[in-house]
């Protein structure tokens, strides 16, 4: 298995010597530094724009005269004097340049003190963003010309895209239903081998690299070797391009390694440890071609690397650029979860703190180069065509693990990303049960193009004109939400880090208010008098529990095909988080997706008088479209993530002070159900409770588009 340096440090940031890991580049800009940024009020990019608009204030703050150029400062001086003291003037010019530099720094500091005093003096648990905010979003076409399609006959039967027609390209990451989580827990357990090697880093960062692992990961050590791994989230990767390349390579190996040379074809002996579980569940793990040593294997890495690999495939050209590799530059895979875990990394103090990742990949190993010795030239035996992969049997020679290496990315398909947590002997079982009882949510939606990025450290503002298939999935939701009919003409997905961070911060505050602190131990939660762990859902407010579910959420549950576009598994029902509609004009919709909602106050409110001030949403698309202005035969509707929190519930037909009552009672939103007959309206009190994720152009009265 590749040493930690080659898994973790091979992407070392090229722009500094900090030793920090860097996310592999998706484009041509090289790796990006992943070192957390620190906030400096005098140099934060967010203050640059303020500086250009507060010159007068800055001068007043500094108490110094504003020098603009040498000519202004020397106006009126005698030309004769200038000729005589030419050298002195040069010295003065030099001094002025230095003074200007000092003055600019003072102005920047003054502007910063006006723009972000809270961030500079009172840091919050989640660092304030220090990233530049651009004024215009990047518009991207998600439908790529020339995308590789695949014949549906070779697509695994349980893939969502199996039902797609032959010839359609797809590139999606999809949550695996939690009902299947036990199978992956079983796979991690059955491939567990209680051994460590020098590749397992010291968990306390106090020991040097030690053969067999440092004392901290030995029995009785602190915290010791993990005793098991528990799954928190499973993502399946369905990428027609990567899959077709894998199938082509598998077929090529099959053609070259069968027939006359079959008698000399070495199989795994004993069988790889994943076989015992994957063969039990063919509806989760496609039956493999064992005749050419096709197997399921693990690959441990950092969470964001795993997501980047799932989106963009392995980059074997980067392997081995750190300390070298035992069997040459290749993709190092493992049959044991314990071995893969040696290379997994969490994100201390970050979103994925305590969360680790492994990829479960299909690998066509083909003809094995088998050795019990270290051989850094093993790769040359594969490139020559003599073999297809390497099996370094360290289990036999050193009593540890078999090292399995491939040298062509097309021989690997990263089918699953598995996020998990480690369990140690000293852990309180109640804490483990408590954590597992709460679904783990990704930092960003899994279907976002930016899912692998850290929105706290990387600013992005991208709008995606989605591919036709995604548009048709949303058409299903539109058709189910309308009493009439309308065609989805265009659909755009909004991925903006600034608005997303604000939205997530609100959800965090709401969890804290409800006592939903997953990091508290069982005793601490008991001592804090933990109360009810969820908000009262909408269907329980009218006294009829069996009805009154939020329509959009109910339809998303029933309309399984929309899971690829709007995943209900990424919504926190305990916070009353729902996808809701907001109809408006084109100009207003464009302003919202660029600059977020702005809740009108007082007399400025347009639709805010019936139940008070706030942002109004509906579960009924008919209701939302009644607020929309038809322009050129189309109406505009936003499909938003809305965290409602605790409702103030009213059945009045008109209650203009409902939002004030909600605020006075400590509620987070208003649920208005006029005369207990609807249509219901959801009114949130702050902009931070909303993330405008989709903007749809709808043609009322037109027949919906369907799959060919």
pLDDT score at 431? 92
Distances (CA, A) of 505 to 124, 447, 599: 11, 21, 18
- Which parts of 501-556 are beta strand (E)? none
In CATH, the architecture of 461-700 is Alpha-Beta Complex (3.90)
3-state secondary structure of 32: strand
- Sign of the alpha-carbon torsion through 236, 35, 20, 328: positive
DSSP 222: S
Task: Report the distance separating Cα 99 and Cα 63, nearest Å.
Answer: 14
pLDDT score at 570? 81
List, for the chain, all residue ranges whose pLDDT scores fall below the cut of 70: 1-135, 164-166, 259-264, 317-324, 516-533, 559-564, 601-608, 708
- In 3D space, the residue among 64, 61, 40, 37 whose CA is nearest the CA of residue 111 turns out to be 61
pLDDT score at 23? 41
Query: What are the tokens at 80?
Result: 């004769």
Task: Report the distance separating Cα 199 and Cα 212, nearest Å.
Answer: 8
Q: At what angle do helices 551-558 and 468-481 cross, to 10 degrees?
A: 130
- Summarize pLDDT for 8-67 with one digit per residue, the tens: 333 333 333 333 334 433 333 333 333 333 333 333 333 223 322 333 333 233 333 222
DSSP 360: E
pLDDT score at 4? 37
Q: What is the CA radius of gyration of the chain?
A: 30
The answer to whether 311 and 241 are in contact (CB under 8 A) is: no
User: 127, exposed or middle or buried, with CB in 10 Å at 0-12, 13-18, 19+?
Assistant: middle
CATH class of 4-36+141-436: alpha beta
Task: Report the distance separating Cα 500 and Cα 507, nearest Å.
Answer: 11
3-state SS of 65-81 is: CCCCCHHHHHCCCCHHH
The answer to whether 185 and 230 are in contact (CB under 8 A) is: yes
Task: Report the distance separating Cα 671 and Cα 648, nearest Å.
Answer: 6
The answer to whether 32 and 22 are in contact (CB under 8 A) is: yes
pLDDT score at 87? 59
pTM of the predicted model over 0.85:
no
Neighbours of 346 (CB within 10 A): 18
The upper half-sphere exposure of residue 371, i.e. CA atoms within 13 Å in the direction of its Cβ, equals 16
The answer to whether 356 and 302 are in contact (CB under 8 A) is: no
- In 3D space, the residue among 55, 52, 77, 51 whose CA is nearest the CA of residue 66 turns out to be 55
List where CATH 3.90.228.10 sits in the chain: 4-36+141-436, 461-700
């Amino acid at each position: 298995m590749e040493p930690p340096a080659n898994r973790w440090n091979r992407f070392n940031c090229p722009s500094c010597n900090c030793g920090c890991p860097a996310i592999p580049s998706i484009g041509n800009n090289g790796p990006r530094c992943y070192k957390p940024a620190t906030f400096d009020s005098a140099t934060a990019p967010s203050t640059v724009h303020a500086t250009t608009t507060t010159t007068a204030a800055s001068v007043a703050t500094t108490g110094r005269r504003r020098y603009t150029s040498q000519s202004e400062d020397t106006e009126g001086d005698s030309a004769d004097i200038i000729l005589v003291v030419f050298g002195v003037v040069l010295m003065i010019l030099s001094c002025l340049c230095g003074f200007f530099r000092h003055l600019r720094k003072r102005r920047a500091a003054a502007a910063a003190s006006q723009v972000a005093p809270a961030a500079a003096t009172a840091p919050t648990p989640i660092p304030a963003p220090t990233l530049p905010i651009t004024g215009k979003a990047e518009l991207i076409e998600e439908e790529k010309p020339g995308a590789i399609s695949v014949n549906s006959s070779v697509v695994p039967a349980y893939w969502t895209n199996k039902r797609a027609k032959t010839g359609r390209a797809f590139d999606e990451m999809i949550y695996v239903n939690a009902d299947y989580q036990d199978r992956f827990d079983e796979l991690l357990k059955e491939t567990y081998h209680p051994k460590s090697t020098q590749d397992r880093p010291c968990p306390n960062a106090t020991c040097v690299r030690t053969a067999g692992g440092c004392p901290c990961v030995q029995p009785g050590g602190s915290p010791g070797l993990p005793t098991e791994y528990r799954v928190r989230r499973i993502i399946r990767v369905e990428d027609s391009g990567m899959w077709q390349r894998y199938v082509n390579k598998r077929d090529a190996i099959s053609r070259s390694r069968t027939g006359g040379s079959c008698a000399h074809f070495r199989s795994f002996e004993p069988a790889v440890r994943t076989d015992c579980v994957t063969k039990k569940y063919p509806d989760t793990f496609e039956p493999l071609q064992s005749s050419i040593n096709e197997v399921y294997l693990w690959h441990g890495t950092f969470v964001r690397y795993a997501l980047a690999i799932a989106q963009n495939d392995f980059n074997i050209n980067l392997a081995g650029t750190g300390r070298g590799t035992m069997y040459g530059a290749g993709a190092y895979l493992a049959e044991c979860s314990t071995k893969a875990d040696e290379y997994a990394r969490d994100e201390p103090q970050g979103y994925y703190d305590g969360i680790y990742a492994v990829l479960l990949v299909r690998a066509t190993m083909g003809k094995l180069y088998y050795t019990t010795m270290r051989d850094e030239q093993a790769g040359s035996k594969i490139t020559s065509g003599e073999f297809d992969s390497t099996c370094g049997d360290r289990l036999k020679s050193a009593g540890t693990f078999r090292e399995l290496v491939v040298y062509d990315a097309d021989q690997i398909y990263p089918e699953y990303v598995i996020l998990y947590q480690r369990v140690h002997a000293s852990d309180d079982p109640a804490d483990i049960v408590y954590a597992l009882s709460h679904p783990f949510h990704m930092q960003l939606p899994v279907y976002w193009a930016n899912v692998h990025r850290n929105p706290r450290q990387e600013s992005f503002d991208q709008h995606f004109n989605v591919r036709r298939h995604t548009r048709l999935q949303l058409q299903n939701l539109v058709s189910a939400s309308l009493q009439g009919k309308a065609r989805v003409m265009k659909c755009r997905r909004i991925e903006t880090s600034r608005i997303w961070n604000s939205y997530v911060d609100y959800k965090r505050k709401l969890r804290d208010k409800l006592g939903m602190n997953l990091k508290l131990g069982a005793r601490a939660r008991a001592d804090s008098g933990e109360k009810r762990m969820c908000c009262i859902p909408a269907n329980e407010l009218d006294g009829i529990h069996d009805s009154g579910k939020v329509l959009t959420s109910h339809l998303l549950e029933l309309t399984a095909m929309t899971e690829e576009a709007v995943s209900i598994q990424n919504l926190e029902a305990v916070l009353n988080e729902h996808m809701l509609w907001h109809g408006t004009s084109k100009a207003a919709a464009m302003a919202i997706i660029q600059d977020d909602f702005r809740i009108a106050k007082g007399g400025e409110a347009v639709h805010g008088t019936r139940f008070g001030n706030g942002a109004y949403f509906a579960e009924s698309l008919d209701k939302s479209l009644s607020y929309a202005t038809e322009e050129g035969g189309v109406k505009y509707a936003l499909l938003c993530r809305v965290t409602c929190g605790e409702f103030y519930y009213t059945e009045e037909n008109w209650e203009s002070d409902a939002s004030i009552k909600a605020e006075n009672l400590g509620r987070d939103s208003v649920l208005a159900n006029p005369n207990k007959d609807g249509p219901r309206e959801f009114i949130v009190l702050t902009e931070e409770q909303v993330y405008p994720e989709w903007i749809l152009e709808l043609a009322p009265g037109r027949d919906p588009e369907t799959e060919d």
